[in-house]
């Protein structure tokens, strides 16, 4: 990978990980709508697409967009950052009482966290990586789809 492209991607990862921290802070201060807006901004930055285009893609398509032609450590961190944004958005939905959106968002975070395992890296997991056991508890074992169950078992 060209060094300037790698540096650019690492800068985006750093920038979006800081957005995750701001999102947590905003939710903690009761600024829930601002927290959700930060999550969307994080997705936009991670994909370098406006929300109108980004949310036209399925999660499977988004996964490919994040990982295509990326070295394993970059692909893993981008997927985990997507999972972290989803996890934090889910926590915000829970806080405002939108359980349907919370569950769907947690399930997406879980699936991406599990898919990130396929990218082997010697680097430790980033601090923003969601905890799989917490996500399983938030989604509920009884609500896991077959693909997620299979990913958990592998």
Q: How much is the pTM?
A: 0.92
> Which two structure tokens, joined as six digits, stand for 28?
């903690």
Over the stretch 84-100, which tens digit does the pLDDT of each residue have? Answer: 999 999 999 999 999 99
The predicted-structure confidence for 71-129, as pLDDT tens digits, reads as follows: 999 999 999 999 999 999 999 999 999 999 999 999 999 999 999 999 988 889 999 99
Q: Give yes or no for residue 67 having a pLDDT over 80.
A: yes
Percent of the chain with pLDDT over 90: 83
Residue linked to tokens 């997705």: 43
State the chain's mean pLDDT as an integer. 93
Using CB atoms within 10 Å of the CB of residue 56, give its burial: 0 to 12 exposed, 13 to 18 middle, 19+ buried. Answer: exposed
Token pair 């399930």 is at which residue?
107
Rounded Cα distance between 22 and 38, Å, is 8
């Amino acid at each position: 990978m060209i060094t300037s492209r790698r540096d650019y991607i690492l800068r985006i990862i750093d920038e979006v990980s800081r957005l995750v921290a701001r999102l947590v802070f905003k939710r903690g201060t009761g600024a829930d709508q601002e927290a959700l807006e930060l999550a969307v901004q994080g997705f936009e930055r991670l994909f370098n697409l406006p929300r109108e285009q980004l949310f036209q893609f399925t999660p499977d398509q988004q996964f490919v967009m994040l990982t295509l032609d990326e070295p394993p450590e970059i692909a893993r961190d981008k997927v985990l950052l997507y999972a972290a944004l989803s996890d934090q958005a889910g926590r915000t939905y829970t806080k405002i009482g939108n359980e349907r959106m919370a569950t769907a968002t947690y399930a997406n975070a879980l699936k991406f966290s599990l898919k990130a395992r396929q990218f082997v890296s010697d680097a430790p997991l980033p601090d923003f990586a969601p905890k799989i056991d917490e996500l399983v508890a938030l989604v509920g074992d009884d609500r896991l789809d077959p693909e997620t169950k299979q990913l958990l078992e592998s």
